[in-house]
Amino acid sequence: MMNSRLLCAAAMSLSLAAAPGIDATALLRDLELLASDEMEGRRPGTAGHDRARAYIVRRFGESGLEPVGGAYEQAFTFAARPGGTPARQRGTNVIGVVRGRIRPGLAFVVTAHYDHLGVRNGVVFNGANDNASGTAALFALASSLTAHPPAHTFIFAALDAEEAGLAGARALLDAPPVSRDAIVANVNLDMIARDPGNTLYAAGTFHHPHLKPALQRVARRAAVRLVFGHDGPGAPRVEDWTRGSDHYAFHQLGIPFVYFGVEDVAHHHKASDDFGTISREFYANAVETIAAALEELDRPAAGIPLNSSSRIDSAHARSPKERQSKRP
């Protein structure tokens, strides 16, 4: 919706205080491309969505992520209502792995959904914040971890069909690349590129307080305000984000989660959620903060339980045939 060449030039000339492992220029370039009109709002079943998926597969490879079972793509079907008529529709998650050095049998699963609303009445809903921002962050975080291999294994998953009831997350957990009891925690990124108050929320520690000390250490040195909340009974029901995104599918199975997100009422699910309205400096700093959080959570001394009997390999993945998503 904006002049792509002008925006790209602005992004590349922007000097941001990103940390050594995060390439701010590449981060913004990825976000701009995923949120461009070329991707047609990334609605499942459209040519634009297919282009976005192909781009994600390419960037996973360039980021150094290994495919699972020989392929990055995990196909599934889910219930959809195109034009109000119930139907089965195909979705595809994109999954890659960085194997751990010390505890390779335990995994963090880092997720971000890449689907959005598509085109409505001729208007493209580009979904820059929701959730091209989280998807582009996956590439930056993966590149950082492959350059400095972690203690635990990290599984990166660009999930499809979040807007259709978390279908991609449920499909991932129905046919996970690792046994469920090997998952230490889910770190979910959804809407992390816009906040005038310089505030990034970390939801989930109300339910899983053992994760909070590591995040508190990050908060003390972060360039953004890292605030805990939106996850418990202290706030009105509408502000409880526990069920708000893909992390809820993990939560339902008793898997700990941290959800990073922002309050974005002004542009949420509106055509104005475009690359031109994101907060570029905040976004780069937010991704750097999340990178620091992954580093802290990965420390063996962070209080993460050891389960040496678990293994992470392609044996846990089903064959590449389409998988049927189902609710637990």
- Compare 266 and 249 and report the one with higher pLDDT: 249
Record the pTM. 0.86
* In a domain? residue 246: yes
**Interacting residues of 325 by C-beta distance below 8 A, sequence separation 6+:** 76, 77, 78, 91, 161, 167, 168, 170, 171, 174
Res 59 pLDDT > 60: yes
* In a domain? residue 258: yes
**In which domain, by residue range, is 212 found?**
4-10+21-300
Q: Which two tokens stand for residue 221?
A: 């040195």
What pLDDT score does 37 carry?
97
| pLDDT-derived band at 300, boundaries 50, 70, 90 | confident
* In a domain? residue 70: yes
Give, in order, the Cα–Cα distances in Å from 50 to each of 43, 45, 67, 90, 187. 9, 8, 19, 11, 25
Contact 205, 230 (CB under 8 A): no
Q: What is the DSSP letter of 306?
A: P
How does pLDDT run across 136-152, given as a tens digit for each residue? 999 999 999 999 999 99
- Compute the distance between CA of residue 129 and CA of residue 137 in angstroms, rounded to an integer: 11
* In a domain? residue 322: no
**Beta strands, E only, 51-166:** 66-67, 73-80, 87-98, 103-113, 118-120, 123-125, 152-159
What pLDDT score does 164 carry?
83
State mean pLDDT over 4-29. Answer: 58
| pLDDT-derived band at 84, boundaries 50, 70, 90 | low
How does pLDDT run across 209-249, given as a tens digit for each residue? 999 999 999 999 999 999 999 988 765 554 789 998 999 99
> Whose CA is closest to 192, among 268, 263, 247?
263
* In a domain? residue 58: yes
What SS3 class is residue 91? strand
Res 269 pLDDT > 80: yes
State mean pLDDT over 195-220. Answer: 95
> Whose CA is closest to 306, among 189, 170, 152, 176?
152
* In a domain? residue 308: no
What pLDDT score does 315 carry?
36
Residue 75's φ and ψ, nearest 5 degrees, are: -85, 150
- Compare 7 and 78 and report the one with higher pLDDT: 78
Q: How many CB atoms lie within 10 A of CB 113?
A: 28
Contact 143, 63 (CB under 8 A): yes
* In a domain? residue 328: no
Domain count, the chain: 1
What is the domain-level CATH number for residue 57?
3.40.630.10
State mean pLDDT over 57-82. Answer: 93
* In a domain? residue 313: no
